[in-house]
Amino acid sequence: MRYLGPHACEEALARGELHTLWIAPAAFGRVANLISEARTAGVVVHRDPMENLDRRSQGQRHQGVLGEGGAFAYVEFEDVAASIQAKGDRALILALDGVTDPHNLGAILRSAAAVAVDGVLLPERRSAPVNETVIRASAGTAGRVPVCRVVNLGRALDDLKEAGAWIYGLAAGEGSCDYLEEPFDRATVLVLGAEGEGLHLKIRERCDGLLHIPMPGGIESLNVSAAAAVTLFRVIARRGNGSREVST
């Protein structure tokens, strides 16, 4: 796994995933702390010309800092499901149905990290894997999120429902309710589909309720990463971030 840019490398170092670091001479002064901490942790640090980093990154933006580490560590589904028992009504899980754009996935994982979700479910098919582009788009925060790949997303949702979660699908249309009216006062799984296609029918049918984000400006829909951020932070606001009651 490659980590592009100082933020991604700092996050990987903090998680103990980084084993090699390449720094362009022009970036040495800006990332002196990263270099020092990496050497203390036993990470091999190379001084390398910018053109070599350009080649290693295959043209992706790296700001003169590039790292390598092990493969992204996915978690087991059982670990995500266990959060429902551990956290009760405050459990919050995100499921993505067909999000194939790595930039969207990275932005979603950044929002998921910001609200400390208990897990993100990705189907093994019809989904972008967590790769260098995703980590870059998440500003290096993807590793803070428990991400699980499942063979059958529908079956995983059934299992979470059986464990006590309420499944909300984000979808407009008949039978969909205003998300501002939902208290989110129980263990919650938010399911978002790909742009254009939305939720697949079999996934939609498994939802306990459908929600939509009001669009007073007349825009038809939001980018899936923006919709995820808006909805996740709404859940946190309604729950009072663990201490406060927040009114609508």
3-state secondary structure labels for all residues of the chain: CEEECHHHHHHHHHCCCEEEEEECHHHCCCCHHHHHHHHHCCCEEEECCHHHHHHHCCCCCCCCEEEEECCCCCCCHHHHHHHHHHHHHHCEEEEEECCCCHHHHHHHHHHHHHCCCCEEEEECCCCCCCCHHHHHHCCCHHHHCCEEEECCHHHHHHHHHHCCCEEEEECCCCCEEEHHHCCCCCCEEEEEEECCCECCHHHHHHCCEEEECCCCCCCCCCCHHHHHHHHHHHHHHHHHHHCCCCCC
CA 72 to mean position of chain CA atoms: 13
pTM of the model: 0.82
Domains of the chain: residue spans and CATH: 2-69 (3.30.1330.30), 77-242 (3.40.1280.10)
Residues in the chain: 248
Amino acid 12: pLDDT:
86
In angstroms, the first-to-last Cα distance of the chain is 43
Position 77 scores a pLDDT of 96
Check: CB of residue 187 under 8 Å from CB of residue 91: yes
How far is the C-alpha of 181 from the C-alpha of 44, rounded, in Å?
A: 53
pLDDT value at position 244? 34
Q: What is the pLDDT of residues 72-102, one digit of tens each?
A: 889 999 999 999 999 999 999 999 999 999 9
Q: Residue 217 has what pLDDT?
A: 86
Q: Which residues of the chain have pLDDT under 50?
A: 243-248
